[in-house]
């Protein structure tokens, strides 16, 4: 597909040698108001180098761009050069590329030969898989799909929280108040009850904390009874987690959690000691990072037990040595920012510069309930499975009310209900905190997943109404008369479809799935304006074929965009 941005940059570069071609290309904007052009080049940064007023520079550049004869219209407006693309050419370029490439439209080979690891979801064993986990889970899954679309070799890791002092607490609670039958019947909720009771009881009996620490040390030392209980908690928890992953359509290449690195930590501790990084502080082993403004990193407690950061250092080194990653991406809440800053600095100080520089923390905002922050210690959580199930049930009710004769109601309800929850998570910038509200998550109106899915289904309906013969003609681009899709509505839609691959790349650069989400909302809205304002299934065969070609392209790009978010695109709703 012709790159109009690059074409503009090359023309401007021939006129202006004071800044590089890359800088020019990065400076080119897409105006919010289409009346100001399809692309715009602001001339402010050239004023000092050229010793001219920006409006005068804009006039000179506009003249050069106009003289190329490539564009429909070029205007100098104050300090901006506004450039209008030829409607027929961009329509032809866009439809030809989308209809030729189909499901791979928007993909590239940018990352060929490079491995990217994405660590996401990572729930704690024997604790609830609650609504707070959805952010890491669906952001990480979407980033995996985005980087895969950009051609990278991908590794998906679910770094399970299956180690740490909480298991000493869990085992202690189970031995005091638990029984096997209850755990097997409802593992997570039962274990959560034990965990909550432990914290309630320990407020009155501090000796429980010491008992729990002692149990965890035994677990680290491989004591058979403790290991057996730990493994059972892990197996039972994974059964419940996998039920949720199946609902979301999410898979992993590795479930290597914290426990996997327990036998790899002695090497790390020895390296830290050999390189003079490990010092003693009140009986504990720490790395002093004060000179970098990062405080002190606790590597080993005074009782000899390890911590998160010790295991994370071992994990990063193992991943670099095993996968030789280009990027090692951690999708973890913003609360852990200091932890990852310490981790990356320690890796650098240990001499693992490649592992440090290639590791990226992708933070996201926190989820709270309307009556406060969630707390597993106090048992106040919203289970993710309950959210997904409720979304599906609500969707089924809506479909049964509006279209009682619909086929495959259960399948559509699952696609749309779960899609609504996922889309809600990915529609806003990931760093924002938000409050979980049922009425917001399950609202199917406005800029939502169901709205975008319905637009896809509307496209599918138009194709069925047009018939196979017309669709076949539309796919054969020699039959397209582009005059019929030259209206402002059609042109706006075509430009958005044309820009889709750029937004996929931008989403990867920013580690931000909402870039894709917002763009496919824009495409859906533009298509619905086109649909409402123009007749598509007309008596004029040439007009119908041209418009159906645009419907085909719209349907394709919406499906591809939803796929990058981990959301299905129903053919009927």
Which positions are catalytic? 127, 130, 133
CA–CA distance from 316 to each of 361, 463, 492 (Å)? 12, 50, 46
Tokens of 4: 């109009």
Environment class of 22 (CB within 10 Å of its CB; exposed 0-12, middle 13-18, buried 19+): exposed
Rounded CA-CA distance 257/261 in Å is 8
Environment class of 434 (CB within 10 Å of its CB; exposed 0-12, middle 13-18, buried 19+): middle
Element (H, E) at 435: strand 434-436
Phi, psi angle pair for 116, to nearest 5°: -120, 125
Tokens of 117: 């690891």
Rounded CA-CA distance 166/194 in Å is 11
Tokens of 259: 């426990």
Tokens of 485: 């899709």
Report residue 480 CA to chain centroid gap. Answer: 37
Question: What number of CA atoms fall less than 13 Å from residue 517's CA on the CB side?
Answer: 26
Rounded CA-CA distance 300/348 in Å is 19
H-type helices in 375-448, by residue range? Answer: 384-402, 409-426, 438-441
Beta-bridge partner residues of 153: 115
Radius of gyration of the chain (CA): 28
Strands 39-42 and 80-84, bridge-based pairing: antiparallel
Rounded CA-CA distance 287/265 in Å is 15
Sign of CA dihedral 397, 402, 405, 406: negative
């Amino acid at each position: 597909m012709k790159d109009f941005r690059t074409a503009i940059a090359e023309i401007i570069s021939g006129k202006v040698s004071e800044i590089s071609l890359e800088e020019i290309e990065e400076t080119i904007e897409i105006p919010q108001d289409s009346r100001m052009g399809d692309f715009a080049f602001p001339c402010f940064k050239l004023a000092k180098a050229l010793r001219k007023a920006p409006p005068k520079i804009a006039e000179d550049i506009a003249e050069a761009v106009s003289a190329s004869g490539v564009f429909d219209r070029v205007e100098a407006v104050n300090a901006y050069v506004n450039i209008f693309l030829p409607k027929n050419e961009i329509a032809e370029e866009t439809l030809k590329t989308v209809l030729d490439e189909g499901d791979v439209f928007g993909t590239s080979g940018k990352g060929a030969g490079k491995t990217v690891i994405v660590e996401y979801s990572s729930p704690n064993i024997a604790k609830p898989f609650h609504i707070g986990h959805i952010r890491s889970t669906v952001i990480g899954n979407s980033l995996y799909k985005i980087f895969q679309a950009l051609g990278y070799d991908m590794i998906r890791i679910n770094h399970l929280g299956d180690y740490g002092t909480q298991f000493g607490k869990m085992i202690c609670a189970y031995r005091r108040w638990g029984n096997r039958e209850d755990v097997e019947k409802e593992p997570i909720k039962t274990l959560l009850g034990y965990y909550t009771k432990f914290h309630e009881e320990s407020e009155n009996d501090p000796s429980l904390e010491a008992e729990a620490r002692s149990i965890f040390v035994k677990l680290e030392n491989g004591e058979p009874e403790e290991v057996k209980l730990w493994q059972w908690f892990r197996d039972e928890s994974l059964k419940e987690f996998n039920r949720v992953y199946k609902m979301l359509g999410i898979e992993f290449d590795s479930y290597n959690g914290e426990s996997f690195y327990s036998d790899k930590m002695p090497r790390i501790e020895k390296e830290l000691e050999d390189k003079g990084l490990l010092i003693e502080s009140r009986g504990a082993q720490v790395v002093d990072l004060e000179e970098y403004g990062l405080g002190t990193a606790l590597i080993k407690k005074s009782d000899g037990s390890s911590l998160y950061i010790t295991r994370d250092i071992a994990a990063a080194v193992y991943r670099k040595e095993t996968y030789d990653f280009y990027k090692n991406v951690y999708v973890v809440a913003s609360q852990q920012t200091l932890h990852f800053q310490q981790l990356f600095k320690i890796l650098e100080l240990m001499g693992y510069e490649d592992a440090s520089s290639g590791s990226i923390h992708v933070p996201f905002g926190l989820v709270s309930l309307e009556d406060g922050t969630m707390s597993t210690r106090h048992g106040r959580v919203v289970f993710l499975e309950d959210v997904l199930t409720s979304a599906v049930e609500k969707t089924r009710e809506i479909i049964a009310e509006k279209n009682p004769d619909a086929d495959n109601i259960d399948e559509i309800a699952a696609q749309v209900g779960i899609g609504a929850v996922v889309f809600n998570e990915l529609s806003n910038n990931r760093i924002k905190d938000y409050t979980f509200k049922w009425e917001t998550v399950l609202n199917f109106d406005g800029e939502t997943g169901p709205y975008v899915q319905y637009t896809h289904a509307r496209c599918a309906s138009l194709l069925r109404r047009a018939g196979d013969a017309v669709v076949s003609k539309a796919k054969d681009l020699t039959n397209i008369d582009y005059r019929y899709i030259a209206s402002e509505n059609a042109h706006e839609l075509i430009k958005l479809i044309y820009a889709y691959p750029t937004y996929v790349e931008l989403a990867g650069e920013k580690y931000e799935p909402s870039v894709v989400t917002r763009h496919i909302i824009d495409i859906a809205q533009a298509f619905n304006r086109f649909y409402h304002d123009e007749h598509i299934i007309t008596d004029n065969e040439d007009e119908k074929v041209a418009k159906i070609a645009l419907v085909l392209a719209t349907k394709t790009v919406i499906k591809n965009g939803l796929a990058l978010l981990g959301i299905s695109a129903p053919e009927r709703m």
